[in-house]
Amino acid sequence: MSGGMTPATAPDLFERGLARRLGERAAATDVASVPLERIHARIARRRRRRRVRASVGAMMAVAVLVLTTTAIVRSRDPDPVTSSGRDSMPLLGFANDTWTVVRQSPGTQYAVVDGPGADAVALIVTRDGADLRVGRIERSVDRSIENMRGILQVGAISLGGNPTPSRPAVWWAVAPGFTATVTGNAVGAYTDPTELLAATVEIVEVDVSAWGERGGNIDEARLDARAATGPSPLW
């Protein structure tokens, strides 16, 4: 057994005695012939174990990959409006074919406009987290939307993050995880949010009577978003 230098300090009588006893015990140890077969059997067993571990690891990696992919695909599932699932993307309006789809990203966002004119209204539905708007919120109102308490926000938006002028807009949580925004299709149109909502009648039903009784104050209006009827124009 080679191993380098011995300790610097010389062993005392006790240590020499212990070393001698260790030597005697080692010499007295019965050493059988080298069991090469036993060693090779252990090598083979360790190799099998390693292969099994590698296989299990690979299977687990594949399983994780499949589950992750499935989860991602499901999270992007467009799930048409006819589905009652709470995570499905809500489709508003489209009842009278006057709306035109101008942009869509299944499961993430879509935008429709109700005509080409200067007074056209645009509706944008986005999944929360999709950075489609840099907003300036003028006021937020806790009020009844979709038969639930919710926040109606009035302010201005810039579409797509482009350096275009901001435009007046009204937006609310149209379904869990989704925001609906209505705005004038032309920059500068519909500076009055009450007019903006009134122009979206195909999409957003406004309780005009209550609204009128209260002087057309948007803070008092009751909104109901209309779901699509018939086949979806998007998917």
Partner 1 sequence: MDGDDDRTAEFEAFCCEQWAMAVRLARLLTGAAVDADRVEALVAEAFAETYERWDGDDPEALLRRRVIAGCATTDRRGRAAPDDGDEPYAPLVRPDLLDALVGLPVRQRTAIVLRLHHGLSDQAIARAIGTADGSVDPLVTDGLTRLREATGP
Cα within 13 Å of Cα(189), Cβ side? 16
Of 6-14, 154-162, 164-172, 198-206, which part binds partner 1 (CB under 8 A)?
6-14
And the tokens for 150?
Answer: 């919710």
Q: What is the closest distance, in whole angstroms, from the C-beta atom of residue 27 to partner 1 in the complex?
A: 8
Q: Which residues contact residue 42 at a Cβ distance below 8 angstroms, ignoring those fewer than 6 apart?
A: none
97 binds partner 1 (CB under 8 A): no
| Residue number with CB closer to partner 1 (10 or 148) | 10
49 binds partner 1 (CB under 8 A): no
Of the listed pieces 9-17, 153-161, 165-173, 219-227, which binds partner 1 according to CB under 8 A?
9-17
Rule CB under 8 A: which of 134-153 touch partner 1? Answer: none
Q: Does 54 bind partner 1 (CB under 8 A)?
A: no
Tokens 């275009």 correspond to 164
Do 143 and 219 form a contact (C-beta atoms < 8 A)? Answer: yes
Task: Mention every residue, 6+ apart, whose C-beta is less than 8 A from residue 151.
Answer: 140, 141, 142, 143, 172, 173
Amino acid at 225: A
β-strand 223-225 against 100-105: which pairing, if any?
unpaired
Is residue 19 involved in binding partner 1 (CB under 8 A)? yes
User: Any contact of residue 10 with partner 1 (CB under 8 A)?
Assistant: no
Q: Report helix, strand or coil for 143.
A: strand
Please state, in angstroms and as integers, the Cα–Cα distance from residue 15 to each residue in 10, 21, 29, 127, 147, following that order.
9, 10, 21, 78, 90
Does 1 engage in binding with partner 1 (CB under 8 A)? yes
Query: Stretches 19-27, 107-115, 184-192, 207-215: which one binds partner 1 (CB under 8 A)?
Result: 19-27
- State yes or no: residue 215 binds partner 1 (CB under 8 A): no
29 binds partner 1 per the rule CB under 8 A: yes
- Contact residue for partner 1 among 10, 30, 116, 147 (CB under 8 A): 30
Q: What is the dihedral of CA 48, 49, 51, 52, to 10 degrees?
A: 120
The site that binds partner 1 (CB under 8 A) totals a number of residues, namely 31
Q: Which residues bind partner 1 (CB under 8 A)?
A: 1-7, 11, 14-15, 17-19, 21-23, 25-26, 29-32, 34-36, 38-39, 42-43, 45-46
